[in-house]
Amino acid sequence: MVTILQLIVSGLTVGAIYALVAVGFTLIYRASGIFNFAQGEFFMLGGMLAGIAMASYGLSYPVAALLACVITVIFGLALFLLGINPARSASPIQLLILTIGASLLARGLASAILGKDFVRLPQLLPWDVWRIGGVVIQVQAVAIVAGAFLIVSAMGIFLSRALTGKAIVAVAANTVGAQLVGINRVAVISLCFALSALIGSLGGILATPITLTSYDTGVMLAIKGFTGAMLGGVGKPYGPVIGGLLVGLLEAFGAGFLSSVYKDALALVVLLLVFALFPQGIFASRSVERV
């Protein structure tokens, strides 16, 4: 029983990260139809930059975190404004390849400039672990889940209450219609990229104390986040969150009961199963294509 609870805890922890990736990915996808393969790199950059800033340049935790977020957001904006927006005539697959290129670029620069070692960050809160009835809970894990919850809630409130947020929803629902009522599509999508990058870097900073980050961690994060988004469905706002958590739980239980070596493969198998069984996500409603 304790083992099961332990697995649930670790599954939710890791799942919270995947949920954040899924949310960031969905934000961009719904507003612009772009499949951002570089989503995972936002997390990687956040963690790596903050870690190196502290270790090599002696900056304090808050300053390093702020710096990391700023640089990541700049990267996200550059990706859209310099890469994707100019490539207007490109097909969706060409844009996907563009984001793959951006992901490679980020990874390459990170490995060359920041090094190939794993990077560490200190915990957010002073305690190390809590023990509740035989279950060991890392405090940072709680910070991750709480942080993710706060971020997603803030996003939700922003999208439904703030005027700018509603503009994003409008563009997501009907791009031409939104433009016709005066919403600047480029500005809105730039904002989505910036927000997505911000969510990513915050997530990376929260996660690094437990998971450690290296230049390489972005790709699997992106794939698992995408799996979460597919599982939950991009139609409903809470879909990606539930999907991400589910992926985390499945991974934890898979690692616990089946094999920890192939735990990454488990997420991939889940992805394939989702494609096979629920092509439009578990929570999405069916739709018909008009000819």
Partner 1 sequence: MRNKLASPYAPPVIIAASIVLISCLPLTNFQVRMATLLFIFSTVVLGKNLLMGYAGQISLGHGAFFGLGAYTVAIGAARYGLSPWLLTAMSLPAAGVIAWIIGRPILKLRGYHLAMATLAFGSIFAMVLTNAVHITGGPDGMALDMAAVRLFGMTPRWSWYWICGGVLVLAMYLLASLLDSPTGREMRAIHDSEIAAGVLGIDVAQAKLRAFVISAVFTTLAGCCFVMFDRYITPQSAGILRSIEFVTMTVVGGLGSAIGSIIGAAIFVVLPQFLTVFHEYEQAILGLILVIIMVLLPKGIAPSLAGWLRSRRASSC
Tell me whether residue 147 or residue 243 sits nearer to partner 1 (CB atom): 243
| CA count, 13 A, side-chain hemisphere, 287 | 10
d(CA 128, CA 251): 24
State how far Cα 282 lies from the chain centre.
19
Shortest distance (Å) from residue 131 CB to partner 1: 34
Q: Is the dihedral of CA 173, 198, 263, 93 positive or negative?
A: positive
Tell me whether residue 202 or residue 252 sits nearer to partner 1 (CB atom): 252
Shortest distance (Å) from residue 149 CB to partner 1: 27
Tell me whether residue 43 or residue 144 sits nearer to partner 1 (CB atom): 43
Q: What token pair was written down for 214?
A: 């290296």
Tell me whether residue 170 or residue 172 sits nearer to partner 1 (CB atom): 172
**DSSP line for 105-129:** HHHHHIIIII-SS-B----SSS--E
Shortest distance (Å) from residue 171 CB to partner 1: 19
Tell me whether residue 88 or residue 131 sits nearer to partner 1 (CB atom): 88
Shortest distance (Å) from residue 288 CB to partner 1: 14
Nearest in space to 186 (alpha carbons), one of 91, 86, 96: 86
Shortest distance (Å) from residue 276 CB to partner 1: 6
- Residues at the site binding partner 1, with contacts judged by CB under 8 A: 35, 82-83, 86-87, 89-98, 100-109, 111-112, 219, 223, 226, 230, 261-262, 264-265, 268-269, 271-272, 275-276, 279, 291
Q: What size, in residues, is the chain? A: 291
